[in-house]
Chain A
Amino acid sequence: MAERTAEDAAGPDAVLRALADPNRRQILRLVRGSELPAGQIAAHFADLTQQAVSQHLRVLAGAGLLSERRAGTRRLYTLRPDPLDHVRAVLAEFWPDALTRLKDVVERDHPPTGDTP
Chain B
Amino acid sequence: MTSPDPLIASIRIAAPPDVVFPYLIDPALLARWFGDATGSTPEPGGAFELAFDDTKSVQGQFVTIDPPKRMVFTWGVPDSNVLPPGSTTVEIVLTPDGTGTVLDLTHHDLPRSELPSHQAGWAGLLKELERVAGHD
Contacts and interface: CB of A to CB of B under 8 A. Distances in A.
Contact of A8 (B80, B100, B103): B80
B33 A101 contact: yes
Given A16-B121, A84-B112, A106-B15, A10 B134 contact: no
A66 to B, nearest CB: 12
Range of interface residues on A (Cβ < 8 Å): 35 or more
A116 B113 contact: no
Given A84-B113, A102-B11, A105-B32, A79 B133 contact: yes
A47 interface: no
Interface in B81-136: 81-83, 98-100, 103, 105, 107, 110-113, 117, 119, 121-122, 125-126, 128-130, 132-134
Contact of B82 (A87, A95, A107): A87
Contact of B112 (A11, A88, A117): A88
Interface in B26-83: 29, 32-34, 55, 77, 79-83
Contacts of A82: 113, 129, 133
Given A11-B81, A82-B113, A3 B55 contact: yes
State the main secondary structure of chain B at its contact with A: mixed
B93 to A, nearest CB: 13
11 contacts: A12-B81, A15-B129, A16-B121, A16-B125, A19-B128, A95-B7, A101-B34, A102-B13, A103-B11, A105-B33, A112-B99
Given A11-B80, A99-B103, 20 more contacts: A3-B55, A7-B82, A8-B77, A8-B80, A10-B81, A12-B117, A12-B119, A19-B128, A25-B128, A82-B129, A82-B133, A83-B82, A84-B111, A99-B11, A99-B105, A102-B13, A104-B33, A106-B13, A106-B23, A117-B100
